[in-house]
Chain A
Amino acid sequence: MSILVFVESAEGQVKKTSIEAVAYAAAMGGDVTAIALGNNVDSSELEKLGNFGASKVLHVDDERLNQGVIQAYSSILAKAMADTGAEVLVLANSALGNPVSARVSVKVGASLVSNVTDLPDTSSGFKVKRSIYTGKAFANVELTNDKKILAIKKNAAEIKETGGSATVEKYSADLNDGDFGAKITKTDKATGEVLLPEAEIVVSGGRGLKGPENWGMIEDLAKELGAATGCSKPVSDMDWRPHHEHVGQTGVKVSPQLYIAVGISGAIQHLAGVNSSKYIVVINKDPEAPFFKAADYGIVGDAFEIVPKFTEALRAAK
């Protein structure tokens, strides 16, 4: 089986979610070709994809593609599927992957499933499991068309190093003006921070922290853990924290190894964004807070006392 993997990059590096997509494709078996777009990704990064299971990497070296131009990306991916004879396109379920995969699926007439959580079952037909109801359930779905597109949920694939190497080839895209109908005029990006959707550890604060001036201790804890910071919806609604930190059903969905919730009640809409975390720690002064039901570890107490102690204990344990 020939599989094409769309690889996203940021600050010159291939994103971890895209490495997962390559690893997922490799685990499916078959011949894996990755494709990277734009000229701001290091070629050594692309060669490294061989170590995760890609045999070849196509690189469209065009600076117009350094930002997420949804239409241009979909045109390229549809063409690359045809040129490589790929039956399956695999990509990360992301702010970019989803809208792009949707357009590609129409262009090539592919069955598309997003939020895929497991490897396909090909024993009869081609079936995958996907997360639905914001993590509250799963659906097992059959892809009925010849061509298939899978958008993989974070942490659905285990990254294994294969020791392989990939050849990087320039790939020409034949783009036209119509592909750039939407013009990106500026990008604001939080730099230097650990990005929330990709973080392995997330420390989130809720309304229990009383005000933005108290976030120093959350940031200290996050720094100690190399974690990203998040918050509940009222916190971003009140502008205590930037909107892109808002976690939950209507905000960012995270699936880190460890989620630490401080002064957050655990309303169902918040839980919906965090329920695929591997471990959840809850710190709340109310022993009845619903979040404890979803937690693996809990401490009942005042965040203002516990968080600094927690940070201190982490430092001491180093």
Chain B
Amino acid sequence: MKILVCITHVPDTTSRITFTDGDTKFDTNGVQFIIGPYDDYALARAVELKEQLGGSITVLNVGGAETEPTIRKALAIGADDAIRVNAEPKDSFFVAEQIANAAKDGGYDLILMGRESIDFNGGMVHGMVGELLGLPSISPVMTLDIEGDTAKMTREIEGGKEYLEVKLPFVAGCQEPIAEWKIPNMRGIMSARTKPLNVVEPSGNGENTRLEKYELPPAKGEVKMIDADNVGELVSLLKNEAKVI
């Protein structure tokens, strides 16, 4: 089983989001970067599938040199080698095209990634990669098992789930509870240092959108506190002030 796991390099979920350069750049000052949480689920399941079926895991990230610690962490968790496409991710099509070009001759049985990144929340890259490679794409995938050349999975739908089967190869956008996140152990961390990390230059046509400006939401007003002995007041506020019930 040859698995490609695509990972994003994103601000830690607790980061304060601010912008610089006239609101055209994300302010990375004091921000800790992590593997995208959904990508982390994809990677964790890949590690389990490799343990069960043998094979290899390649991780891929589209990003500048600053993403290498994140890539090394994925190697420490259990990937065998890594590809970094040396380019600033511009938009989802740009990223998808880089992934598709890198994957095209790789002979991967499975291409896994998170259902969305937690910075741009696009939720589109898996579908675009599937289309570019002419493969089925399924997302958001909640469970994934492989039996021979067939994958059996469940996909989240509004208020429930769907059971699907598809022949390998295909692309999946993953989410929990597909696997438990894996924490790298000492051996993993040591071996990650020497695992191959191949840097390739970008190719393709580029982006379909152009970022103009970032913006922060307006500040939240003060909370109105209501006495615990006067729940009736909450009901009347919701009725008459907020008008939501």
Q: A residues within 8 Å of B by Cβ?
A: 10, 15, 67-68, 70-71, 74, 93-96, 98-103, 105-107, 109-115, 127, 129, 131-145, 181-190, 193, 195-198, 200-201, 225, 243-244, 249-251, 257-258, 268-269, 272, 275, 278-279, 281-282, 292-302, 305-306, 309-310, 313-314, 316-317
Contact = CB atoms under 8 A, between A and B. Distances in A.
Interface string B136-159: 111110100000000000011111
Given A99-B127, A138-B215, A114 B209 contact: no
Contacts of A107: 131
A185 B163 contact: yes
Interface string B202-243: 000001111111111100110111111001101111110010
Contacts of A314: 235, 245
Which of B130, B210, B211, B223 neighbours the largest number of chain A CB atoms within 10 Å of its CB?
B223
Contact of A114 (B121, B167, B211): B121
Contacts of A196: 158-159
Most A C-beta atoms less than 10 A away, residue of B19, B93, B157, B216: B157
10 contacts: A70-B136, A103-B130, A127-B212, A136-B17, A144-B208, A182-B165, A243-B177, A297-B226, A316-B232, A317-B239
A112 B217 contact: no
A98 B92 contact: no
A293 B138 CA distance: 38
B144 to A, nearest CB: 13
Contacts of A143: 208-209
B126 interface: yes
B130 to A, nearest CB: 6
Given A139-B120, A198-B158, A317-B236, 19 more contacts: A68-B155, A68-B157, A102-B127, A111-B209, A136-B217, A144-B209, A182-B166, A200-B244, A243-B177, A244-B160, A251-B176, A258-B238, A278-B242, A278-B244, A297-B242, A298-B224, A298-B226, A306-B231, A310-B234
Query: Contact residue range for chain B?
Result: 35 or more
Contacts of B223: 282, 292-293, 295-298
Contact of A183 (B142, B165, B236): B165
Given A134-B121, A258-B242, A102 B157 contact: no
Contacts of B140: 95
B148 to A, nearest CB: 15
A134 B118 contact: yes
* A interface secondary structure, majority: mixed
Contact of B245 (A68, A70, A112, A225): A225
B151 to A, nearest CB: 9
Contact of B208 (A111, A132, A182): A111
Interface class of chain B by DSSP: mixed
A19 to B, nearest CB: 15
B175 interface: yes
A106 B164 contact: no
A141 B237 CA distance: 38
A190 to B, nearest CB: 5
Contact of B235 (A71, A296, A313): A313
A71 B13 CA distance: 32
Contact of A115 (B121, B128, B136, B212): B121
Contacts of B118: 133-134, 249
B121 to A, nearest CB: 6
